[in-house]
Structure formats: structure tokens, C-alpha cells
Amino acid sequence: MPHNEAEDSTPGRTTSEEYIHRAKGRSLTGVAKQGVGAWLFALSSSVIAGIQALTDLLLFPVIAISNIGDAVIDALILKPLTIVISGSEASAASVAEFELFGLPLGTAILLVTFAMIGWYLRRPSTSDFLPGTFWDSPFTGVEEEDAGGEG
């Protein structure tokens, strides 16, 4: 009696009759070996999946720490560098407007800026309200009058 798929209650589902037809012409020991082989395959694949799960459990903190390291480097070094790069590109574009005199003018501006910073760092401490003036702010800074000592 041939198997009729129309008689199946669920299409695409293997019935017991199909298993019997597949086993035709084979010995009972061959069918048993296939069953034991499938059981051993299932057991070994579940052991392998368990080992992979334990490995993932142990390696997850290491992976997380390396991701944190990448994020810290990105936040502390790479993102601020984009600000510096954007500023230098804007400076280069504005200096390029002066064409031939752009490089000497940019160099002069840089040297004057360094000189102003050096002058600011070398100036003596004072309690002047506005630097470079003689207006003192009360109760703050250094009192220049007391610096000479008492006689």
C-alpha cells in the first residue's frame, strides 16, 4: 500500500508510516544503529553547546572591558581631536584668503600669541582688579605695599 500524503493530518509532518518505509530493506540492527547514532550526536552537540556557553560566560567580562577601553579612547582622545582638526581647518581657510602673505601672516600671529602667553606667565602676582591697571580689588590677591617689608 503506497503512502498518500493527502491522508496526513498535518502537511509536511513525517508520519510513522514514512519511517517504516524508510527502514525497508534494512536490518533491525541498522535501524538501531541509526537511533543510537542520533542519540550520541544529540548528546555531543548539547555538550559542545554547554562548553560554548561557559566560554562565553567567562569571556564576556573581557570583551566588555575591551569595549570600555575603546569607548574611553574615543571619548578622551579622538573626539577632542576632531575639535582641534576643525579649528585648524578653519584657520587654514582664513589664512588662505591672504594668498601669498598667508604663511608669513600666520607665522607672525602665532609668534605674537606665544609672546603674549609668555608675558602673561612672567608677570608678577598682583591684586589688580583688571590686569595691567592699578585698581586693587579689596581683600583679594597680594598686597604690593606689604611686599617691601617693615623698617
DSSP state of 128: B
Residue 71 domain flag? no
Please determine, for residue 4, whether its predicted confidence score (pLDDT) is greater than 60: no
Q: Do 106 and 95 contact (CB within 8 A), yes or no?
A: yes
For 71, phi then psi, to 5°, come to -65, -40
Q: What are the tens digits of pLDDT across the range 6-28? A: 454 556 666 767 766 666 656 66
- pTM for the whole structure: 0.33
Q: What are the tens digits of pLDDT across the range 48-95? A: 999 999 999 999 998 999 899 889 999 998 898 999 899 889 888 887
Question: Which residue type does 82 have?
Answer: T
Residue 128 domain flag? yes
Structurally, the chain folds into a number of domains equal to: 1
Residue 56 domain flag? no
Residue 64 domain flag? no
Domain that holds residue 111: 99-146
Q: Which residues contact 135 (CB under 8 A, 6 or more apart)?
A: 128, 129
- 3-state secondary structure at position 27: coil
